[in-house]
A and B are shown apart, each in its own frame.
Chain A
Amino acid sequence: MDDNWLVRASTIKLLWVIFAIILAATVLADLFIHQHPFFTLDGTFGFGAWFGFLSCVILIAFAKALGSVLKRPDTYYDD
């Protein structure tokens, strides 16, 4: 029904493959470049990758938990 090439299942699959290759490449690049860590943890292998991923998971989980308490229908203030 939708014939745009960007939303075809095959394109999306291809995009995931390319994305995975790029992700792997950025982590592997850590082997070849010289990092200048300010502290200790930020000198670990693939720091940006695992730290970024973990931060996002925690932020999303925290937002979800906060939302379960503070979410209201968007007509809440309309009356």
Chain B
Amino acid sequence: MTTDIIIPPAVVLILGGLLLPLLPQRVRPVLLLIVPVLTLYCVWQVPDAAALKVAFLGNELVLVKGDALSRLFGTVFSLMAFAGGLFALRQDRVVELTAAFCYAGSAIGVVFAGDLITLFIFWEMMAIASTLVVWSAGRSARGAGLRYGAIHALGGVLLMAGVAGELASGGALAFGRMTLDSVPRYLMLAGILVNAGAPPLSAWLPDAYPEATWSGMVFLSAFTTKTAVYVLLRGFPGAEILVYIGLYMVFYGIVYAILENDMRRILAYSIVNQVGFMVIGIGIGTEMALNGAAAHAFAHIIYKALLLMSAGSVLYMTGKRKCTDLGGLFRTMPLTTICGIIGALSISAFPLTSGFVSKSMISDAAGQQHLAIVWYLLAAASAGVFLHAGIKFPWFVFFQRDSGLRPPDPPWNMRAAMVLFSALCLLFGIAPHLLYRLLPYPVDFVPYTPGHVVFQLQLLLFSGLAFFLMLGWLKRTLTITLDTDWFYRRLGVTLARRLDQWTESGWNWAAHVTARAARAAVRQVERYHGPEGVLARTWPTGSMAFWATVMLAAYLILSYW
């Protein structure tokens, strides 16, 4: 068995993606569905060891290395590529599909990378491919895509600097657990956190993702942030700073989502919120917490993609994205409504959904470590998730008032993708042992105790009560909320324009002064050397003789001295 040639799962997906534009349109759907299945098969063929090594610049790179954690992420990324492909079957911008498959493939490359250089290469491929996914939405996404690319280039530079520093200072090339005790490692952590949507640069996510097409954002929601979660899980488990960063992300996501009007930006903020839960789990660092973070990443990819599929269906059928334009769609889009609600219940960790199992593992790990404040804040945040995503999204899009829109449910392939992911949300919620089997550590956790279920129901249902009682304060307005991206979208632009003005006026002043000085010089020259100038006049012979006599007389007097 071990002598078998290992096909890197990443390569299957990337090559499949690159083949798409070369095929006639009729064959494309077949490839879109088969390639992710083949990838999943290859994911499960990777043994629990370094499986593929190559020499590169005097280093031995481990291109493929498997274990339970890599397999968990590889599996859910392949599932995501399949459901995303199914959902995007009618996407006629083939460049988006190619980019999306290269993006997903690179993410799989990261999770099977055995060394830091391989990891970095796939990391950068992800950044390029995902920027292309944003850009495939056309003109309207040009600026957002550029900002997205720039931020990820910055993250890549930080990661590269960290990797180079680590290797230069004699660190191991192999990618494994690292303690935060040197500058290069902090640089690596910073680069990874940029991709996770951590502060202070979280704004790239709600800025760029909602500008993608109805199908593009489904892909985007899954890979970048969760690959960062994987790298943190393997590289920096138990780093305490992650607990505080995660807590910030959790509440940042809730507060900004409460204020947001664009349905897909609400869901974008809630990605930051959910990744915050995972980052907290990684920071706690016990086996239970790490299992919880890994399980939450797995569950999250599925229910967030489901939520974005239901939002994407609404966008596809109505062309509208603002809550103020939507409402009352449950009448004619019943299936989209139901699938959206299942996704919303899962993200809120409602009992019988996947989120309940995974999020409970993280909170219980905090409780078992006696982290009282973290546990209380996690409980408050769970209530807040139900508020901003669990009720707000379905309420404003599908119920609320009657917008007069009567779109039908989307085409069959989009419905099928939603039904598939809804089923998975419920399956992992009802039969959590299926998920436990995939986790990196042995699981000894019973989510369904009467006490726990009752607590969670109280927490969520009373959050619902707060939502409906305070509906007046939650009324949507045609506004955005300023974020740290203001510094580079407004302040930076203003300064750049001012700099332009300053340079221009400085230049004008210098030109004016020079011209005046030159004119004055010309006048001066003309005054002495011009036709009437003192030095250029013709003098009479008499005055010449006179001055010669004066000089000779002076000479005579001086010689007597």
A residues contacting B by CB (< 8 A) are 2, 4, 6-7, 19, 22-23, 26-27, 29-30, 33-36, 38-39, 41-42, 46-53, 55-64, 66-67, 70-74, 76-77
Contacts and interface: CB of A to CB of B under 8 A. Distances in A.
A26 B461 contact: yes
A67 B461 contact: no
Contact of B384 (A39, A59, A76): A59
Contacts of A50: 462
Contact of B489 (A6, A7, A22, A77): A77
Nearest to B366: A38
14 contacts: A33-B451, A36-B449, A38-B372, A51-B383, A52-B458, A56-B384, A59-B251, A66-B259, A67-B479, A70-B481, A70-B482, A71-B259, A71-B477, A71-B480
A47 B478 contact: no
Contacts of A74: 261-262, 322, 478-480
B370 interface: yes
Contacts of B255: 59, 62-63, 66
Contacts of A61: 473
A38 B466 contact: no
A27 B459 CA distance: 10
Interface in B80-133: none
B462 A59 contact: no
Interface in B51-84: none
A36 to B, nearest CB: 6
Interface stretch (B159-167, B374-382, B437-445): B374-382
The range of chain B's interface size is 35 or more
A33 B462 contact: no
B470 interface: yes
A57 B456 contact: no
Contact of A38 (B370, B454, B462, B477): B370
Interface string B229-255: 000000000000000000000010011
Nearest to B451: A35
Contact of A47 (B258, B328, B370, B458): B458
A12 to B, nearest CB: 10
Contacts of B464: 19
A52 B259 contact: no
A53 B467 CA distance: 9
B425 interface: no
Given A6-B330, A22-B461, A48-B457, A60 B478 contact: no
Contact of B456 (A23, A46, A48, A77): A48
